[in-house]
Amino acid sequence: MAKVKNPVLFSKHFGVDPALLDAADLIDPFLNVDTQLFIDPVLLEKSSNQRIRVDGIRTFRQHFQNFIRLLAISRSKGDAAWRAAEKLLDLHEPAENGLGYGGSGRSGSSRPDHIRDAMMSTAQEIVELGADDPEMISLMGFFEDEVGPDTISDFTTRVILHDLAKITQDFCEANGIPVSKDDRIEGVLLPRFVDSRSGTMKSTVLVPTDIVRDLPVATDWSDIEAAAFQNTQIRDRVNVFLGNIAKPTVADRKAALRRAAMDSAQSFDQFLATVKEHTSHYDKSLDALGYYKLKWLFGQDPSGLQVPASYALHTGPEELKKLVHDTLSMFKHHVENGNLWEELWVDGKPKKERAAQLIYYALADSFCIANNVDISPEANMGGGPIDFKFSSGYRARVLVEMKRSSGTVRHGYERQLEIYKDASRTQIGIFVVMDFGDVGKKLNQIKAIRNARISAGEDASDIVVIDATPKASASKRK
């Protein structure tokens, strides 16, 4: 999950009703935290926003038509045409839209040159086949291992930034939000704010809700190939290429899809058309990652999420541990006895692990604010990213690792959490199992490990189990 720390919503900072953003079909972004959604260029022409559907897609196509023309006349890497095409494929991360894998601060960053070079070489191969659709660039994530959807989102944002800025200016002027000049974007006035980390003035742009998708886990190929496999001919060609491989890996399947799509210009055009037809935007009514619920929780009065308890944090880490357990008890109560479990399911299936983590964070944050406790989601302490680190002063630290019941529960408790504890120099860890009804023998296994450690006089992390299975409505419960 992203490093969500002290998040500030656009609506809250500028004093605008979030319902107005919702009515305009615009994302209410965090000003200081990236949301893990990305702009997919194949969604531009489907948008309900006229400026995006008409001007945005035209801008995008014209930009990459020029890119394709330059690649078509380039005779070798590094010649004049190649260098001109490089300038049109800007992979720097734009900080303005607050989307992507980044964490707190939303500062833009660049990517290694070899990623851009790989994308250009693949695009040139496609051009040499005879295909010339400028939206071919949106498919680079299918063909290149290091090209993720965040990369595609970033260069798309840069190309249509002026259109996004105009949408933002129109919304702000219609709703009384002050705007001013940003020297980087000519002819547009944008809402500006002081970044709490750098102390500098920054601008933000608003993004229509129907041109974004969730960022898939990098190793989860099923989400990426699903659209392409809607076409029987593409699926059959891929299966032929995989015919002699007993257990194809993600790399094998990716290579087979590349070969199938780049067999000819006709194959590629068919592939691109299929992906366009079957790609859909992030559905906020389903909210598979819990982002809209997270934003709603941060938009509420936090006093209702606090308990009338006091903690003598100066006495040591045990008091901090008590606070953390109270945050988990509140989360457990709302999931098991309220309706919060509904936010953890979509289409009869558990949502991704990140949904539970984000919602828990939003609830725990109110405790931390009230007690001057620092909570750092996905804090990397040398041994890898722990889900949450709570700290009060230098010595009092409590780590929380949250796992879905279908995941690597035993390894997470027995090994992973212990590595994190060693790296952060603390003996206090809490392991949370979100039980979606498929925990099986895993719970007994980690309880046995804990009991054995206690019997041996060793430190043993606590275990908290939260029943996240669907519940009957309150009126039907006995």
Return the pLDDT at 197: 65
Which residues, at least 6 apart from 464, have a Cβ–Cβ distance to it below 8 Å?
325, 328, 332, 430, 431, 432, 433
User: What average pLDDT does range 360-389 have in this prediction?
Assistant: 72
Reply yes or no on whether the pLDDT at 142 is more than 90: no
Question: What are the tokens at 149?
Answer: 């959807």
CA distances 215 to 35, 53, 72, 249, 302, Å, are 9, 22, 32, 21, 29
Q: How confident is the model at residue 452 (pLDDT cuts 50, 70, 90)?
A: very high
Reply yes or no on whether the pLDDT at 379 is more than 70: no
Q: Kindly report which listed range (101-110, 112-121, 336-345, 425-434) carries the lowest average pLDDT score.
A: 101-110
| Greatest mean pLDDT among 95-109, 111-125, 352-366 | 111-125
Q: How confident is the model at residue 38 (pLDDT cuts 50, 70, 90)?
A: confident
Reply yes or no on whether the pLDDT at 72 is more than 60: yes
User: What average pLDDT does range 201-208 have in this prediction?
Assistant: 90
In which residue ranges of the chain is CATH 3.40.91 found? 291-476
Contact 211, 47 (CB under 8 A): yes
Q: Angle 232-241/265-278 helices, nearest 10 degrees?
A: 120
Q: How confident is the model at residue 58 (pLDDT cuts 50, 70, 90)?
A: very high
User: What average pLDDT does range 176-184 have in this prediction?
Assistant: 91
Phi-psi region of 279 (alpha: psi -120 to 50; beta: other; left: phi over 0): beta
Return the pLDDT at 25: 95
**Residue 292 and residue 28: Cα distance in Å, rounded?**
9
Reply yes or no on whether the pLDDT at 295 is more than 50: yes
Return the pLDDT at 357: 85
User: What average pLDDT does range 114-130 have in this prediction?
Assistant: 90
CATH fold of the domain at 291-476: Restriction Endonuclease (3.40.91)
Which one has a higher pLDDT value, 316 or 458? Answer: 458
Q: How do residues 233-268 score in pLDDT, each as one tens digit? A: 778 888 888 887 878 776 787 788 888 888 888 888
Reply yes or no on whether the pLDDT at 152 is more than 80: yes
CA 327, chain centre distance (Å)? 24
Radius of gyration of the chain (CA): 24
What is the CA angle 399-404-407, rounded to 5?
A: 105
DSSP character at residue 197: T
CB atoms within 10 A of CB 116: 19
Mean pLDDT of the chain: 83
CA 66, chain centre distance (Å)? 31
Return the pLDDT at 331: 92
Give the rounded percent of residues in the chain with a pLDDT score beyond 70: 84
Reply yes or no on whether the pLDDT at 170 is more than 80: yes
**Residue 120 and residue 72: Cα distance in Å, rounded?**
11
Q: How confident is the model at residue 293 (pLDDT cuts 50, 70, 90)?
A: confident
User: What average pLDDT does range 436-455 have in this prediction?
Assistant: 94
Q: Which has the closest alpha carbon to 315: 393, 428, 430?
A: 393
- H or E segment to which residue 321 belongs: helix 317-336
Return the pLDDT at 307: 57
Reply yes or no on whether the pLDDT at 469 is more than 90: yes
Q: How confident is the model at residue 135 (pLDDT cuts 50, 70, 90)?
A: confident
Q: Angle 161-174/149-159 helices, nearest 10 degrees?
A: 70
Q: Which has the closest alpha carbon to 443: 455, 453, 434?
A: 434
Return the pLDDT at 220: 47
Contact 397, 324 (CB under 8 A): no
The single-letter code of the amino acid at 43 is L
Q: Kindly report each contact of residues 214-222 with a partner whose C-beta sits within 8 Å and lies 24 or more positions away, as own/partner.
A: 214/36, 214/37, 214/38, 214/282, 214/288, 214/289, 215/36, 215/37, 215/38, 215/100, 215/101, 215/148, 215/149, 215/150, 216/149, 217/352, 218/148, 219/250, 221/250, 221/253, 221/254
Which one has a higher pLDDT value, 70 or 227? Answer: 70
Question: What are the tokens at 300?
Answer: 């509420």
CA atoms within 13 A on the CB side of 30: 30
pTM over 0.75, yes/no: no
